[in-house]
């Protein structure tokens, strides 16, 4: 562990690391040259398969296997890179793009060669404004130097990379939602099968990979599958960028072998819990993955072990730390608010369920909670998402998991909160005011029943 040598982040501290000449001077594009001029695509796929590289975007699907699902007789393939990193607390892809864009482009180059894709779209979320500029510059530089374009390295392989910017929708990080958005439609996830490998972007076979996944590829080609498998824990190999944020002294993104614990992350890399307080809970990998209590901090953050805690999975390995003064009601209020805002509205259980959960937590937080709410919320959480099979994509699972986990791990706290935070209803309609003032008002007059809109309804930029 002590000898772990960072690879993905090795150029992060290098001045001008985002420029091609810096990257080339450090041996950049050698792996791509080796793959394209000396290997055939199937061999590259085989090496990646042997390395057991698993997707870094959240689901952890084996990358090589994904590539091998492409039909053998395909004529055209598209590569879509998922840079719509919208999972709360995750920012590793942003750093990978901003600080070492050519490593990522080299990864794309090799992966497109392996999958015979001659067009790659980098779907970048709009909020990564700086990363977008860096990417545009880096692509132009790489094309100029002959790493992209026609007949790369004289091999007859062509590749064009385009950045496609999102517009602030979390759901476009779901691979088929991303494809729909790329095609110029609303980002509604598609029913699978067919999976993108068979019918994806523009109805052609498509590979969708995460930025970090592709950034691993040049290193696998350069150092071999065995090197990659020497890092990490069984079934979860390789280095991983862990993001730590929230109640810590130092919010960081750090590269470590897969399988560190949150305790190590917090104490050794993030400077400990802030203000000298104690830890209460951590979110292991973006808020969709659920929550871990203070006594589960020695569980390894890899694709397998994490499930023992009842969490959904490793997710994006973005750890949010919460100190002992954080209320779990606030946490659930936040997660439910997020998912209610980001549900795409396609499937009823999710569209209605997430909003309903948000309203419930808003009411509980404001002092109008009822103990039965917890049972109903638990039932809701069990009945929405891919796990019970009621939605097209996994967003609803992500919305349900924090609730399931908190009910299992912190239920007494929620009950205590509901009991001790009972307040009169905060929203009073004009009719109620009239009744209270002793004015005789017509109760059928609907104008009197209009309740002031909650703040959230006023978010539209043109509602003035």
Stretch 89-108 residues interacting with another protein (CB under 8 A) = 89-91, 93-94, 98-99
Question: Which residues lie below 8 Å from residue 184, measured CB to CB, with a gap of 6+?
Answer: none
β-pairing, 292-293 with 119-124? unpaired
Alpha helix segments (H runs only) across 183-327: 211-223, 225-229, 262-264
Asked if 193 touches another protein (CB under 8 A), the answer is no
Asked if 338 touches another protein (CB under 8 A), the answer is yes
The DSSP 8-state label assigned to residue 300 in this structure reads B
Do residues 406 and 414 touch, judged by C-beta distance below 8 A?
yes
Residues 29-88 that bind another protein (CB under 8 A): 85-88
Q: How far is the CB of 349 from another protein (least distance, A)?
A: 20
Nearest Cα neighbor of 269 from 291, 295, 243 is 243
Residues 152-191: x where in contact with another protein by CB under 8 A, - otherwise, as a string: --------x-x-xxxxxxx----------xxxxxxx----
Residues 228-257 that bind another protein (CB under 8 A): 243, 245-247, 249-253
Question: Which residues lie below 8 Å from residue 75, measured CB to CB, with a gap of 6+?
Answer: none
Asked if 26 touches another protein (CB under 8 A), the answer is no
Q: How far is the CB of 43 from another protein (least distance, A)?
A: 29
Stretch that binds another protein, among 294-302, 336-344, 366-374, 432-440 (CB under 8 A): 336-344
Q: Cα–Cα–Cα angle for 145, 146, 152, nearest 5°?
A: 165
Residues 423-462 that bind another protein (CB under 8 A): 455, 458-462
Question: Any idea how long the chain is?
Answer: 464
The DSSP 8-state label assigned to residue 383 in this structure reads H
Residues 298-317 that bind another protein (CB under 8 A): none
CB closer to another protein out of 154 and 461: 461
CB closer to another protein out of 230 and 348: 348
Q: Give the other-Cβ count within 10 Å of 188's Cβ.
A: 18
Question: Which residues lie below 8 Å from residue 45, measured CB to CB, with a gap of 6+?
Answer: 64, 67, 68, 114, 115
Asked if 375 touches another protein (CB under 8 A), the answer is no
Which listed residue (282, 320, 354, 391) binds another protein by CB under 8 A? 320
Residues 132-151 that bind another protein (CB under 8 A): 133-134, 137
Q: How far is the CB of 230 from another protein (least distance, A)?
A: 29
Asked if 337 touches another protein (CB under 8 A), the answer is yes
Total chain residues near another protein (CB under 8 A): 76
Q: Give the other-Cβ count within 10 Å of 202's Cβ.
A: 12
């Amino acid at each position: 562990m002590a000898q772990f040598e960072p690879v993905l982040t090795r150029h992060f501290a290098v001045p001008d690391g985002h420029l091609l000449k810096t990257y080339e001077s450090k041996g950049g594009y050698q792996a791509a040259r080796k793959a394209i001029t000396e290997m055939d695509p199937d061999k590259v796929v085989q090496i990646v398969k042997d390395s057991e590289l698993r997707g870094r975007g959240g689901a952890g699907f084996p990358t090589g296997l994904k590539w091998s699902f492409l039909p053998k007789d395909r004529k055209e393939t598209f590569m879509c890179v998922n840079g719509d990193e919208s999972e709360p607390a995750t920012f590793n892809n942003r750093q990978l793009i901003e600080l070492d864009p050519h490593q990522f482009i080299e990864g794309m180059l090799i992966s497109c060669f392996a999958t015979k894709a001659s067009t790659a779209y980098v779907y970048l979320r709009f909020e990564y404004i700086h990363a977008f500029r860096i990417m545009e510059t880096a692509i132009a530089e790489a094309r100029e130097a002959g790493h992209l374009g026609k007949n790369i390295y004289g091999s007859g392989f062509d590749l064009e990379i385009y950045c496609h910017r999102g517009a602030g929708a979390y759901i476009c990080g779901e691979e088929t939602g991303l494809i729909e958005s790329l095609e110029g439609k609303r980002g509604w996830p598609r029913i699978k099968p067919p999976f993108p490998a068979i019918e994806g972007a523009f109805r052609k076979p498509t590979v969708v990979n995460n930025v970090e996944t592709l950034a691993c590829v040049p290193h696998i080609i350069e150092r071999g599958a065995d090197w990659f498998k020497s890092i990490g824990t069984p079934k979860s190999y390789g280095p991983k960028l862990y993001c730590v944020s929230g109640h810590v002294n130092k919010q960081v993104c750090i590269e470590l072998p897969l399988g560190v614990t949150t305790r190590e992350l917090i104490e050794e890399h993030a400077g400990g819990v802030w203000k000298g307080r104690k830890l209460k809970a951590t979110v292991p990998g973006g808020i969709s993955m659920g929550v871990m209590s203070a006594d589960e901090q020695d569980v390894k953050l890899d694709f397998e072990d994490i499930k023992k805690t009842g969490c959904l999975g490793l997710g994006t390995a973005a750890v949010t730390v919460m100190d002992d003064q954080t209320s779990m009601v606030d946490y659930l209020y936040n997660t439910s608010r997020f998912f209610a805002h980001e549900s795409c509205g396609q499937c009823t259980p999710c569209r209605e369920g997430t909003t309903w959960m948000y309203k419930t937590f808003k009411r509980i937080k404001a002092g109008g909670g009822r103990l039965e709410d917890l049972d109903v919320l638990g039932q809701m959480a069990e009945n929405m998402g891919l796990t019970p099979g009621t939605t097209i994509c996994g967003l609803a699972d992500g919305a349900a998991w924090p609730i399931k986990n908190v009910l299992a791990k912190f239920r007494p706290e929620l009950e205590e909160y509901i009991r001790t935070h009972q307040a009169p209803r905060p929203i009073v309609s004009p009719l109620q005011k009239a009744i209270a003032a002793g004015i005789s008002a017509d109760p059928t007059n609907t104008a009197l029943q209009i309740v002031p809109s909650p703040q959230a309804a006023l978010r539209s930029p043109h509602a003035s």
